[in-house]
Amino acid sequence: MTTLRQRTEELRRRMRGASRGGGEAAIEKQKATGKMTARERILAVLDSGSFHEYDLFVEHAGKDFDMDKKYFPGDGVVTGTGTINGFPICIYAQDFTVAGGSLGYMHAKKITKIMDHAMKLKVPCIGINDSGGARIQEGVNSLAGYGEIFFRNTQASGVIPQISVILGPCAGGAVYSPALTDFVFVVDKISKMFITGPEVIKTVLGEEISMEDLGGAAVHSEITGNAHFFATSENECFDQIKKLMSFIPWNNTKKADPFPIKKPKNKVFKLTEIFPTDSKKPYDVRLVIKAICDDSDFFEVHERFAANIVVGFARMNGQSVGFVANQPMVLAGVLDVDSSDKAARFIRFCDAFNIPLVTLVDLPGYLPGIDQEHAGVIRHGAKVLYAYSEATVPKITVILRKAYGGGYIAMCSNHLKADFVLAWPTAEIAVMGPEGAANIIFRNEIQNAPNPEEARKKKIEEYKEKFANPYVAAAFGYVDAVIEPLKTREFILHALEISAQKKEDRPVKKHGIPPF
């Protein structure tokens, strides 16, 4: 009879064998490209000592092409549970050193199993992607594997936070799991995402492009918007993940954990110096957010994508809130195809996970242009209206300066059922800016005047005086309070406190049909 000690020794030997990944040579190759191994990554992102691995002894199920003679440790993916800032997490990481991290039947089974766990336990799920794609030898079973993952991503959407980390190639069908999750993290020179790689593009279309230019981290964080967070190293990326987790709840029945209250750094972020009253002048709206939020700590999402709108997380008296703000510094803060997509998605995340929304408004309307019209700014712009109207979390809107036309309505106006609409005395709530409006309303008077230029100026001034202010809207009750800019934080804090128990019902339905 073997002793308990002997059995334990045998277990340890087996574990060592299964955790060695693809062997020393493959691991060296992985490291040479600036990448960590799958296990190192999991350990780096989780709290120290918290990782518990499952399915270490799973073996692949391939029978064809002599696959039955091959052994892939863990079948190329590491799965388990652990904590981040004490927050429970389910996690998996594809191991590129084992068969190129390729996805076969059992590999996918391990992933779907940990996803099912995450759903049962109602905890966030993090997926670290580093894979050459489908394991061709396993044929249709690897396709089935992807399909099972996509289905679970969709079921889990809005129930538990789902995070994808792209730390290597993620090509073909594999890209759709990250695309279905809430936040995608990429690292410069390491992440590569595309449906069709440069090779195929060259053969079929005769167009030459490098992997980096086709689907590198910079492209996805700036051009496509597929990635939400961009880092220059894997460690920076893991810090971003930990920070994000601190702002969001475990699941859709909870609120994010409160933090100790900290005042904004008002000595650094002085509203009076940051903010120009002339609505044609640019400024960085992120500085206004920092002048309002706890500790001036604003964690931006989609920082590089559609910079004409700013979205991200911050805290107000220790409570997590989502900020959405037009950015006058970029494209005058207009809504366009990309910024509408960006804002709508963020609003829906916050609404799904009980994070109140604070909207700062300063926009001239929608971006004019044939390219915008043809790219579908109508249906994309509609997403913002849909997302705000649908949201039932506390919605607080502050109109800083210009709020013209359709843009005014879209930015969580009273009409889309904001709970509180506040306006600074610099707010201009109108159908359009004074110059445009005066030119239309007083066209005849201007044309027939002895000095049309002078008449134009006079009419613009008249319009400005009468309409470019918050008081017309306030007179109709569309603005709940015109406030002193320096009292903004106090007003928002009060509004959040008052609406802490807000519960709003929507008509019962299977689901709406958002303008996807």
Residues 16, 21, 23, 24, CA torsion sign? negative
Nearer to other proteins, 223 or 268 (CB): 223
Q: Is 365 in the site for other proteins (CB under 8 A)?
A: yes
Return the closest-CA partner of residue 33 out of 178, 191, 259. 191
485 binding other proteins? (CB under 8 A): no
**Is residue 206 at the binding interface for other proteins, with CB under 8 A as the rule?**
yes
Binding segment toward other proteins, per CB under 8 A, in 163-171, 417-425, 428-436, 507-515: 428-436
384 or 393: CB nearest other proteins: 384
For the CB of residue 433, give the shortest distance to other proteins in the complex, in Å.
4
Counting contacts by CB under 8 A, is residue 308 touching other proteins?
Answer: yes
Q: Which of 52, 374, 509, 510 binds other proteins (CB under 8 A)?
A: 374
C-beta of 164: minimal distance to other proteins in Å? 23
DSSP codes, 131-193: ---B-GGGTHHHHHHHHHHHHHHHHHTTTS-EEEEE-SEEEGGGGHHHHHSSEEEEETTT-EE
Question: Interface with other proteins by CB under 8 A: which range of 50-58, 231-239, 260-268, 333-341?
Answer: 333-341
* In the complex, minimum distance from the CB of residue 428 to other proteins, in angstroms, rounded to a whole number: 10
Q: What is the DSSP string of 463-485?
A: HHHHHSSSHHHHHTTSSSEE--G
**Which residues within the stretch 223-242 sit at the binding site for other proteins (CB under 8 A)?**
223
User: CB of residue 402 vs other proteins: minimum separation in angstroms?
Assistant: 8
- Measured in whole angstroms, how far is the alpha carbon of residue 478 from the centre of its chain? 30
Question: What is the SS3 assignment for 486-509?
Answer: HHHHHHHHHHHHHCCCCCCCCCCC
Applying CB under 8 A, which part among 92-100, 167-175, 366-374, 408-416 lies near other proteins? 366-374
Q: For the CB of residue 453, give the shortest distance to other proteins in the complex, in Å.
A: 16
Structure tokens at 420: 């509180």
For 389, 391, 415, 483, 503, the CA distances from 499, given in Å and listed in that order, are 17, 14, 18, 19, 9
- The site for other proteins, by CB under 8 A, has a size of 38
* Cβ partners under 8 Å of residue 249, min gap 6: 161, 255, 256, 257, 320, 353, 354, 355
Q: Does 81 bind other proteins (CB under 8 A)?
A: no
453: contact with other proteins by CB under 8 A: no
Q: Which of 338, 341, 419, 480 binds other proteins (CB under 8 A)?
A: 338
Binders of other proteins among 94-123, rule CB under 8 A?
none
Q: Considering only residues 88, 139, 405, 515, which one is a binding residue for other proteins as defined by CB under 8 A? A: 405
Q: Which residues pair with 169 in a beta bridge?
A: 192
Q: Where are the beta strands (DSSP E) in 337-405?
A: 357-363, 395-404
Q: What is the DSSP letter of 256?
A: P
- The smaller minimum CB distance to other proteins, of residues 141 and 308, is found at 308
Cα(169)–Cα(147) distance, integer angstroms: 19
State the minimum distance, in angstroms, from the CB of residue 199 to other proteins: 15
Compute the distance between CA of residue 461 and CA of residue 455 in angstroms, rounded to an integer.
Answer: 10
84 part of the interface to other proteins, by CB under 8 A: no
**Interatomic CA distance for residues 294 and 284, integer angstroms:** 18
In sign, the C-alpha dihedral spanning 506, 511, 513, 516 is: positive
Is 368 among the residues that bind other proteins (CB under 8 A)?
A: yes
C-alpha–C-alpha distance, residues 407 and 305, integer Å: 20
CB of 441 to other proteins, least distance (A): 11
Is there binding between residue 450 and other proteins (CB under 8 A)? no
Which residues contact other proteins (rule: CB under 8 A)?
204-207, 222-223, 280-282, 306-308, 328-334, 338, 364-371, 374, 404-405, 432-437, 439
